[in-house]
Amino acid sequence: MTKVDVGGVVAAPRRRRRRVPAALAWVAVTPFVVWAVARLAGLDRWPVIVELMTGTPYVAAASLGAVLIAVASRNRAAIAVAAVTSVLMACVVLPRALGSTPTPTGPTLKILTSNLLFGSGDAQTVVDLVRRLGPDVLTTQELTPAEVEDLKAAGLGTLLPYEHLEAGEGPSGSGIFSRYPLTELPDFAPSGGHNMPSARLTLPTGRVVEIVDVHTLAPLGPDVATWQADLKSLPSPATGVIRILAGDFNASLDHSALREVLARGYVDAADATGTGLNTTWPANRRLPPLITIDHVLYDQRASALNTSVHAVPRTDHRALFAELRLP
């Protein structure tokens, strides 16, 4: 039998890449566009939207997935919209992880703030933090009379002997403890909310500082309006004094109501030091804290040197420490 060479090359058929339908790409991209618009335009004025807005850092990360889906669709419009949205979200979130260079050269002031969850936070841990970190001022929220006694029994009075307390049952109480003598200032908080004491102190250098112990209502359901009123009531920076707001704002940097406070002339210490993505609530759960609602805001004439968060047993907030440099 004769073998016949017919010539030619046998080629495998080209496999076509599967393309994501354009409609599916738009379904993936659109929610991120809506979120970005709401965040940038400050549309978080109503219940549910306010609570959801704290998830912006996670949404920013997830927006990269929408970019990949758009690329897989090969739809140029979807790709462009997804890419622009993701870049805008990154511009909102990433600066919190980038610190700025301190410029003032004056004295330092160390602040520690801790929400004690109905007075159940571990007093010994708080006092140990004061002893280790050496804050000049401790602001506390949800401070009960019993918790005051526990803190003093643990030795707080020897470390921070001066105080301006408005302790109360449940979540209403707050209190300021200081290394230096305090002068109580008039209340400014709207009625119906938590106590937010404020006080003035003078450092050994002669620099006058005002401390506001912040604890707004949580923006849940009908309390959103009161939460907004609480934030609006916070005093603005003033000439002749350096004002610091420290505590549980129940607000993240993605809330327009808090950004309005910052716009008056304040800076967020964690944001300024590149630790703005360190989360503070809810602590001591099976999952780590998810959002950042505890803050130290300072007059923009000052600067922040460093911040850190610290676990306190039996409370749902991490304590926040900030070291500031005053002008």
What is the mean pLDDT for each group of 10 consecutive residues in the chain (327 residues)? 56 66 94 97 94 97 96 95 97 94 87 98 98 98 98 98 97 98 94 94 94 97 94 95 97 98 98 97 95 98 96 98 96
Which pLDDT tens digit goes with each residue over 136-164?
A: 999 999 999 999 999 999 999 999 999 99
Is the Cβ–Cβ distance between 318 and 281 less than 8 Å? yes
Give the strand pairing for 266-268 and 162-166: unpaired
For residue 30, which phi and psi values (nearest 5 degrees)? Answer: -55, -45
d(CA 26, CA 31): 9
d(CA 179, CA 162): 6
Both tokens of 305, joined, read 């040197």
Helix runs in the chain, H state only: 22-41, 49-53, 56-73, 76-93, 123-133, 145-153, 156-159, 224-233, 256-263, 269-272
Start-to-end CA span in the chain (Å): 102
Residue 270 carries which side chain, given as an amino acid letter? A
Q: Which of 275, 273, 269 lies closest to 249, judged by CA?
A: 269
d(CA 227, CA 257): 9
Count of positions (residues) in the chain: 327
- Cβ neighbors of 213 (< 8 A, separation 6 or more) are 113, 139, 140, 141, 174, 175, 176, 195, 196, 197, 198, 246, 247
| Per-residue exposure over 298-322, b if at least 16 CB sit within 10 Å of its own CB, e if not | bbeebbbbbbbbbebeebbbbbbbb
pTM over 0.85: yes
Is the Cβ–Cβ distance between 60 and 90 less than 8 Å? yes
d(CA 246, CA 156): 19
Which pLDDT tens digit goes with each residue over 8-32?
A: 555 555 665 678 899 999 999 999 9
* Measured CA distances, 74 to 15, 18, 78 (Å): 17, 10, 8
Q: Which of 74, 87, 95 lies closest to 32, judged by CA?
A: 87
